[in-house]
Chain A
């Protein structure tokens, strides 16, 4: 299922709505890379509130996506990881080290404002 990606000013917001297959994750990565270039986005929030499992492939793909987008000039914040999912990730040995995270979308956008300087309405 395709993950909806919303453009809000200079930010992109991707909200995962259901369980994702590996192909869905790769597609999300490609679409975000394309949209960051097309819209000259400065920040990306990936909301994982609906994800019930973050296995090693999902963790690695999201980590790679964040690194890739950083190289394109956009900061990425992962938000909404559920407590039980976070616990399972740590047990598994995945911690998204080096990736910015926040509790929810609101905090994620606030973090982007701090990092990128200039809110969603910011015009460059």
Chain B
């Protein structure tokens, strides 16, 4: 079964231009496809090859290439193999097509990617905020968003050794422990 997977995918996907695939292991196939051909590829995989389960959509921010990589992981219960379809879209404007019509679980992942990376999926049923309801900053999973800088800008670090404790310790009080008394 798995040995034929390559040949079989060759037959199936031969018509699609701009496509490369690589078998990573007996149950994992990596497909690289242009963004214009990806919906057609998924339609073929689902309709003619029983890849009915959308396991996940992952988004990777390649900031140096100014691109987002979208990875669609689809699983077939019949051939027991997982195809990861990789495609890249330009970072600006960051708009792509929804595959909700093909796979309903896509709604969750697309909403999540929209919230975390700011990629808008046309045709997705719900692009409203979900997890970061009260967040109005930039999409936080983008590489240019620096969480530590954000924290330093907006919050003050907790003082674990405040002045009143230092004063107290100078007078000989407080809760200081001599290093030789610390037992680990």
Instruction: Tell me whether A and B are bound partners.
Output: no
Chain A interface residues toward B at CB < 8 A: none
